[in-house]
Every structure is written in structure tokens, then in C-alpha cells.
Chains A and B, each alone.
Chain A
Amino acid sequence: MKPAIHCFRVDPRDNVATLLLDAVPGECRVLSEGNVDSVVIRAPIPRGHKVSLADVTVGETVIKYGVVIGRASQLIRRGDHIHLHNCQSQFDERSSTLSVDDGSPTDTPYE
């Protein structure tokens, strides 16, 4: 049985890939344009989330589908989990204020 593909890169220009399975630190198989590559994951990443395939400095673009999906708000290294804690929207001004734990808004008063 061939080893499972762990993550999927949509476009060759992308600097991220999407996890198809929950991943633990270690080497991870990336399917990219029909070829299999690998990346070493630095911390657990849940399925559906993204792993960085490159080092991205603060302010640099995060690319998926060959298009910019946001900018790094923290230094991102190859193998890092990319999400709300280190990447923000260029459009949605609430993006940088969301809870990094669950994405819920922190600016809506409940009392």
C-alpha cells in the first residue's frame, strides 16, 4: 500500500499546501501538480489547515491558488502552521482582531 498523501498544493506558485489529514511533526508528503514532494512539519497541524512551504517574512504575501490570500503578520518558516496567528486578510479589517484560538470575533459585546 502506498503511503498516504498528507497535503495538497493547488498551484505551483503557492507557498502553502493544505493538510488532508491531521499531521504530527515530521516529514509530510505533498501532492503538487501530480508529483509528490515533502516538507518537514514543525508542530501539529489539523487537517484542512495550511503548512508553509517557504520562509515568509512579516508583510510578505501568502499565496494559494496562485493568488495572494493574505500577508504574514509574524515571521513564518517552512513547515510552520499558517493561520490567524501569523497571516491576515488584506480586505477584512476584522481579520486581525479575531480570536486566534477559534476565529470568533473579539469585538462584539455580549453585555
Chain B
Amino acid sequence: MNESPAPVGDFHGTLCQGYLRQDGRKGIRNLVLIVYTVECAKHVAHAIQAGEPDAQVIGFSGCYDNAYAIRLLLALARHPNVGAVLCVGLGCEYTQPKRIADKVRESGRPAEWFFIQQSGGTLSSIQKGKQRVAQLRSEAESRAVRVPFGLSDLVVGCECGGSDFTSGLAGNPVVGKLYDRLVDAGGSAVFEEIVELIGLRGVLIERAASPEAALQIASAYDKAADYCQTVRQYSISPGNYAGGLTTIEEKSLGAFSKSGSRPIQGVIRVAERPPHSGLWLLDSVPDPHFMQFGYTNPNDTEGIIDLVATGAQLVLFVTGRGSVIGGPIAPLLKITGNGETYRNLEGDMDFDASAVLTGDKSLQKAGDELLSLVVQVVRGRPSKPELLGHHEYVIIYKHQDTPSLAAGCRA
């Protein structure tokens, strides 16, 4: 891609016309979301979506329900970028499509649901689903309330994966610069992967915006450290060692640099939205439970889903080695600090931060260019994964139901 991002303007004031939702949040897209409630309904859900570019699919595979997964489905179905929802179930699973549709309607969005067993099976369910999607789309369009959308309305999430030595030196620090500008403009920024912050307890607490935030950070950190010690597994692998990372602390600092330098307002848990603007830490580590800890983030997509569920209208993914994934609901922008990776995967990667390492570009300038690209995507330009139709998702069983003392009244 030869085109360079537009010159960095002030970016204060109106960036575009957003979609105002009943809860006051604003979206940058107006999607029809198809939600399936058990693996058995997945094929039909995807067949309904086929050929409907403004529709996307998410779903939960398990037949037995799980409070965490339900909260996640509800957070995603009422995401600011979602204008309408169709829920599709098989008909014998625990997770109830009707109850999801009811909650979505209460949020002011049109929603429909049906069971495949009661709709004549695969082919007639696909036909019925496509009719519903057409109705929902036109209702979502006619109900749309367009309002000015500025940086202060924007919530951005960031995750890193497929990291190499450039991620901590260029990719993540560039996002850190963007986060600082976003927070200063009154927007919200979310970072996660506490298991990749091991060794930084003191550094994290020093960044706390208040004593309450410090308590929340300490509590989330201690849970993650306990998790790692209990399972004897720190988030660092032979591939990381081969790439030059020597300790988990070193990897942690590279990951932490995506958070920029502003105070951390507190800790939110999966499916919670930031209570107010600023920088927030997302705790996606399972709580201790009789079924043991479970897994924290089994893959990059699961981490991205957690960020989307905070209400982030846009998510950044920093990857040194490169990746081809996208995300559902919120456009995903892929950033690399590795120039070779950018050239190899140019059709998939949105932003090349490698000039920071050669001294050809300052971190600040690269951060400003990334902000300019983010603004273009907010205004409707598709990110590379959007253009390619990449909308991977995964929702897993997890337990995050034991309120910690530090979580206080938000538990």
C-alpha cells in the first residue's frame, strides 16, 4: 500500500456521524448480528449470513450454559456497532435465544429469534433466517439515529499476539502513543493480558489513577500471578526465547508498552464496559473455581472478543510475526513493527511501524499516523480484515463469577 494516512489534523470535534444507541453509547457501524446458541446451529447461522456483507455471526458452542458466556453474548449483541440481532438456536440447548432477543429488544434494537427444530430444518431455517435478516436490516436502518461522533466517544481495545522482538520495541509503543492521545482527547482505551504483565506489580500500581484503582490492579495482578504459579505456566514460550526474549518480565514490559503513559482508571472484567473515559485494564483471567482455573486466553481471537465486549468500537492487534485474523462487530486493525512482515502480508496488515526502529520516524510521528488511520476507519474506511471478510470469533466456557473484595460494588 503506497497511500499514506491523511495528515494528522486536530481530530477534536466531529469525526463522522455515529449511530446513537438507547444507552447513550455510539457506534461506527450498524450491523445485523446473527447469534447462535449452540454448535448445532452454527452451520445454519453462517449459511444465513452468506452473501450478507453487513451481517456477521457470533455464537457459543456449548450446550450447557455458562454465566460468563451468556454475559459475553449479551455484551456483544448490545454492542454499539450492532443495529439488530437474529438469534438462532437448535431447540434443546440450555442457552435461550429468546431471552437474548428479549434483552436486545429492551436495549432499543430490533431482534428476532427462532429454533431450527421448529422451523423445518436446515433449508427452511436458512430461508427464514434470510427473510428475518432483510427485515431487521431495514428496521435497523429506519431506526438509526445519526449523531456527531468524536474521539471522546471512541473506545479502543488493543491486544498483541504472534509477537516478535519488534512488538515491544515498535508495535506496542506506537499504540501507547495513540492511547495517550485518545485518553487526552476524552476517549477510552483498554488493554488486557494480565498474565503478560507478570513482574510489573509495582509498575502497574504506580500508574493507578486512585487508591481504589490501585486496589483493583493489585487484586487482579495477584490472581494472575497465582494462576501462573499454580499452573506452572508463564505466558512465554520456546518460540519467544528463540526470538530473543529471555524472561517473562521482559515480555511483560513489551506488552505493557501498548498502554501508553496515562493513569490506569481501574480494572474491568469480561463483558463490562469502562465506567468512564480514560485508560482501563481488562481482567480476562478466570477466577479460581472448583473446575480449576480454566484457560485465560487460549488464542488471539478470544482476547480480541473480550476487548470487543467492552464496547470498543475498534480494536488494534499488534503482531510482529504477522496474522490474518479479523474480529467480529468492531473493525480490527493489524499493526506490525516488523517491516519484513508488513511486506510479506501487506494484504492483511494495516500499519507498518518499523520506521521507528531504523530511526527514520519518531514514535510520536508513528503514533500520530496510526491515529490518522484509526480516524479513517472510524469514518467508514474498511480495515484490511474487514475488506477480506475476516470476522473470527470464539466464546469459551470460563468462570469469572467470584467477586473479589477489591472489585467492590461493581461485582
Which A residues contact B (CB, under 8 angstroms)?
Answer: 4-5, 8, 10, 18-20, 31, 34, 36, 46-50, 62, 64-65, 67-70, 82-84, 87-92, 94-95, 98, 102-104
Contact = CB atoms under 8 A, between A and B. Distances in A.
Contacts of A49: 165, 244
Contacts of B257: 65
Contacts of A68: 199, 249
Given A5-B359, A31-B359, A95 B238 contact: no
B244 A90 contact: no
Contacts of A69: 199, 246-247, 249-250, 253
B12 interface: no
Interface in B193-215: 198-200, 203
B244 A19 contact: yes
B254 interface: yes
A31 B200 CA distance: 25
B165 A91 contact: no
Contact of A88 (B168, B247, B359): B247
A103 B168 contact: no
A20 B241 contact: no
Nearest to A103: B241
A48 B164 contact: yes
A10 B256 CA distance: 13
A87 B357 contact: no
Nearest to A65: B253
Nearest to B202: A67
A103 B244 CA distance: 10
Given A8-B169, A65-B257, A103-B240, A92 B359 contact: no
Nearest to B237: A103
Nearest to B245: A48
B199 A18 contact: no
Contact of B199 (A62, A83, A91, A102): A91
B355 to A, nearest CB: 11
Nearest to A70: B247
Given A65-B254, A102-B241, A104-B238, A94 B232 contact: yes
A32 to B, nearest CB: 10
B123 to A, nearest CB: 50
Counting from the closest, the 9 A-B pairs by CB-CB distance are: A103-B241, A48-B165, A48-B244, A49-B244, A89-B247, A69-B250, A65-B253, A70-B247, A103-B238
A64 B357 contact: no
Contacts of B253: 64-65, 67, 69
A94 to B, nearest CB: 7
Nearest to A31: B359
B172 to A, nearest CB: 10
B342 to A, nearest CB: 15
A103 B239 CA distance: 8
A74 B237 CA distance: 23
B358 interface: yes
8 contacts: A31-B358, A47-B165, A65-B253, A65-B257, A67-B253, A84-B241, A91-B228, A104-B238
B250 to A, nearest CB: 4
Contacts of A34: 359, 362
B336 to A, nearest CB: 14
A92 B233 CA distance: 8
Contacts of B256: 65
B243 interface: yes
B251 to A, nearest CB: 9
